[in-house]
Amino acid sequence: MTLAETRNYKDSSNPLLSLNYESALESLGNDYYDEVAAEEFPQHILRWRNNALLPRLGLDPQLVKNEDFITAFGKFQQRKPFLALRYHGYQFGEYNPHLGDGRGFLYGQIRGSDHELYDFSTKGSGRTPYSRAGDGMLTLKGGVREVLAAEALNRLGVRTSRCLSMIETGLGLWRGDEPSPTRSSVMIRMSKSHIRFGTFERLHYLKRPDLTKKLLDHVIEQYYQNLINEHDKYALFYAELVQRVAELVAQWMAAGFCHGVLNTDNMSITGESFDYGPYAFIPTYDLYFTAAYFDYYRRYCYGQQPSICHLNLEMLQEPLKAVIDIADLQNGLSKFAEYYQVEYRNLILKKLGLGNLHFVEADDLLELTITLLKDSQVSYHQFFADMTLTFSSQWRDEPAFVMNDSEIFPALGASAVFHNWCVLYHKILNNFDPEKMVIIAKNLTKYNPRANLLRPVIESIWEPIIEADNWQPFYDLVQQFQ
């Protein structure tokens, strides 16, 4: 078989291989990537297949065999080319020109049934020219954590990439942050582009405005299709990116999520959330909560996320200046705070059951809720989950009903802030007709999943896996997010 024939070869018996792969990124030319080979692993055990994503690929989960996943996404048979994407990035504030896909590659691109272009990218598929001192691998625990984060965030309404599959690969890896040797995995992540802020930063570093413009045209054509025919599409692109990123951070904040490593190589040009390494969900509302143990100066702590994303957007202006007027860039960024506030307010009101209702005390309630969460240091997740569980139409009748249900939070009952919160929440409910209570109860259930992904929960999933190779708790938990 010639190389061209290999590239077009389709195994019609494997639905994952007979998908209609597109080559939007490949066709940009090899200034943006290197062709690489996948690692050959000693073992392939399918640990996770995301059936929920298959219909979006036009596939019936019943017709895709586990072996199909293994052939395509573990053995990497019958598909080429695999493209390690080139990028740089600001890591903890320092520019790093030695990055790029160091343990992954672009496997292929697929047009979903929603007409959006999706990337399938690997993580843990072996060394590339960008691996530096790394082994090119992903630990099994890293794979488990990324699958869980993506599903939990998706359930919480965050615009996120998701994992399509995770296969255990039978290697023993050495890591400073896991008892070693530790088990290995390879993952396929489905996302709306793996082009990062750092992809543009590299082109600026190389002084290639021509390549910047070509990439920007590609990004707009594929991911900002509503702007294609606008005469000022470049300015509008940046303005929309600012909005998407501001909304994304608001989604993280409302979800109580701390990404952990908001370097510019982990920021997507489509404003989608991805790369779930040392992330954590906040146990309590604490702006200084820091997810990554190596983030000594709390640069990426929970409360810093909005300003860090603003800074990352500001730094992206440098490469974009090659194509977009500086005044347009500044104007675009000036709306960040407003977009963030609007989205955050909406999301917290949704979590309080009141998202789609109009009432004058909305800002007071938002402020008081945050004060309550901050002062009391009750569990951020549990506050909303218990509110969902205990809410009743009686809360409309008397503030005392709200307070009495507070037995779930004995510490809250005595506080003046909680008393004020109950009075205000009751007053707001009292403005509405009794039948609106049903809508509020439904909203609470919709926006406050019962399951959570706090650190002890992840550990309780991981323990049965390492101790008895028992994956049931993992499947049960993912199921609750889907």
d(C-alpha 322, C-alpha 335), whole Å: 22
Q: Closest Cα partner for 223 from 187, 199, 259, 250?
A: 199
The site partner of 277 among Mg ion, ligand ATP, none (C-beta below 5 to 8 Å per kind) is ligand ATP
Q: Which stretch binds ligand ATP (CB under 6 A): 97-105, 356-364, 372-380, 457-465?
A: 97-105
**Token pair for residue 28?**
């940009």
Site size toward ligand ATP (CB under 6 A) is: 18
Q: Which stretch binds ligand ATP (CB under 6 A): 15-23, 102-110, 210-218, 236-244?
A: 102-110
Annotated active-site residue 265? The verdict is yes
Contacts 24+ apart (CB under 8 A), 215-221: 215/28, 215/32, 216/320, 216/323, 218/24, 218/25, 218/28, 219/193, 219/195, 219/269, 219/270
User: Known binder of ligand: residue 364?
Assistant: no
* Residue placing its CB nearer to ligand ATP in the complex, 91 or 404: 91
Q: Which stretch binds ligand ATP (CB under 6 A): 50-58, 99-107, 203-211, 435-443?
A: 99-107
Q: Are strands 82-85 and 162-173 parallel, antiparallel or unpaired?
A: unpaired
237 neighbors 331 (Cβ within 8 angstroms): no
Considering only residues 25-44, where is the footprint of ligand ATP by CB under 6 A?
none
Sign of the dihedral through C-alpha 196, 200, 203, 208:
positive
Q: Which of 123, 350, 351, 426 binds ligand ATP (CB under 6 A)?
A: 123
* Residue placing its CB nearer to Mg ion in the complex, 98 or 115: 98
Angle, helices 233-255 vs 209-223, to 10°: value is: 70
- Minimum separation from the CB atom of position 177 to Mg ion (A): 16
Contact string (CB under 6 A) for ligand ATP, positions 209-248, x = contact: ----------------------------------------
Contacts 24+ apart (CB under 8 A), 130-133: 130/84, 130/86, 130/98, 130/99, 130/100, 130/101, 130/102, 131/102, 131/103, 132/98, 132/102
Q: Which stretch binds Mg ion (CB under 5 A): 123-131, 273-281, 394-402, 423-431?
A: 273-281
Task: Specify the DSSP element, H or E, that contains 481.
Answer: helix 472-481
Q: Which stretch binds Mg ion (CB under 5 A): 272-280, 342-350, 393-401, 430-438?
A: 272-280
- Residue 275 is a binding residue for Mg ion (CB under 5 A): yes
Helices (H), 273-355: 305-320, 326-333, 336-351
User: Known binder of ligand: residue 102?
Assistant: yes
User: Known binder of ligand: residue 29?
Assistant: no
Q: Which of 266, 268, 304, 312 binds Mg ion (CB under 5 A)?
A: 266
Active site residue: 101, 265, 328, 386, which one? 265
Q: Closest Cα partner for 184 from 147, 146, 137?
A: 137
Contact string (CB under 6 A) for ligand ATP, positions 128-157, x = contact: --xx--xxxx--------------------
- Minimum separation from the CB atom of position 261 to ligand ATP (A): 6
Beta partners for residue 190, in sequence order: 120, 162
- Minimum separation from the CB atom of position 89 to Mg ion (A): 8
- Minimum separation from the CB atom of position 290 to ligand ATP (A): 16
- Please give the full DSSP string across 154-177, using - where no structure is assigned: HHTT--B-EEEEEEEEEEEE--TT
Q: What share of the chain is helix, strand, coil (3-state, %, to 5)?
A: 50, 15, 35
The site partner of 137 among ligand ATP, Mg ion, none (C-beta below 5 to 8 Å per kind) is ligand ATP
Contact string (CB under 6 A) for ligand ATP, positions 257-296, x = contact: ----x---xx--------x-x-------------------
Q: Which of 74, 81, 104, 108 binds ligand ATP (CB under 6 A)?
A: 104
- Minimum separation from the CB atom of position 462 to ligand ATP (A): 18
User: Known binder of ligand: residue 108?
Assistant: no
Contacts 24+ apart (CB under 8 A), 49-53: 49/164, 49/165, 50/147, 50/162, 50/163, 50/164, 50/165, 50/190, 52/482, 53/162, 53/164, 53/190
User: Known binder of ligand: residue 198?
Assistant: no
141 CB-contact burial (10 Å; exposed 0-12 / middle 13-18 / buried 19+): buried
User: Known binder of ligand: residue 189?
Assistant: yes
106 neighbors 28 (Cβ within 8 angstroms): no
User: Known binder of ligand: residue 469?
Assistant: no
User: Known binder of ligand: residue 100?
Assistant: yes
* Residue placing its CB nearer to Mg ion in the complex, 104 or 399: 104
The position carrying tokens 């402020």 is 367
Catalytic positions, written as ranges:
265
| Contact residues: ligand ATP, CB under 6 A | 99-104, 123, 130-131, 134-137, 261, 265-266, 275, 277
Binding region: 100, 102-103, 123, 135-136, 189, 196, 266, 275
Binding region for Mg(2+): 266, 275
